A and B are shown apart, each in its own frame.
Chain A
């Protein structure tokens, strides 16, 4: 149980294009999903928290217009990096958490998406 998938696992794009990353909880309903990014040899940095059906809460310093998050259902959240630039190249990881009443009341991470912007 507690499987979280991400798609794509890696993507290479040209500067100025937009990239959408999907995060799915496969065997439980995720009331909350989180998006992180991680640069080489650094720890995870939380970008935003999203609850199903409501707007995401962004961490300080994260541009909400650049990193669009949608959590339209209890099993799917998407992160769109708009007008990507080389400095956006990073490892993007989502995590999902079930409700407090469920057996999945912990954060389970997806496998990550490696984004390279040329």
Chain B
């Protein structure tokens, strides 16, 4: 079992719809959770961080964390073609600050 798992996609959504991405992690001591966006040929860009259970909203993005179920999700509202990218879920443990990445979910927003 991988430490951080994501559906590789592609997740195809029409423009204006909500894109819903899921991520599960295996280590219960994980404490910090991040979503990065990576365009093809570019480096990752941090879009959301979440540390406690519940929802966190930032613009069109909402991250949701459920530590009991060991999953974290990302919602993208009003999806735009410019949101087409690979979204990486990343986790750090309490003892260190190394990021453990999932394989990424490729999102395609179709006009």
Contacts and interface: CB of A to CB of B under 8 A. Distances in A.
B43 A34 contact: no
A112 B43 contact: yes
Interface in A57-85: none
A43 B23 CA distance: 15
Chain A contact-residue range equals 10 to 19
Interface stretch (B44-52, B55-63, B73-81): B44-52
B77 to A, nearest CB: 23
A32 B88 contact: no
Interface residues of B, number: 17
B46 A106 contact: yes
A109 B46 CA distance: 8
Interface in B13-63: 34, 36, 42-46, 49
Contacts of B88: 43-44
Interface string B60-95: 000000000000000000000000000010100000
A43 B42 CA distance: 12
A97 B90 CA distance: 15
A110 B43 contact: yes
Contacts of B103: 43
A46 B99 contact: yes
B97 A97 contact: yes
Contact of A44 (B44, B46, B97): B44
B99 A93 contact: no
Interface of A: 2, 32, 34, 43-44, 46, 49, 91, 93, 95, 97, 106-112
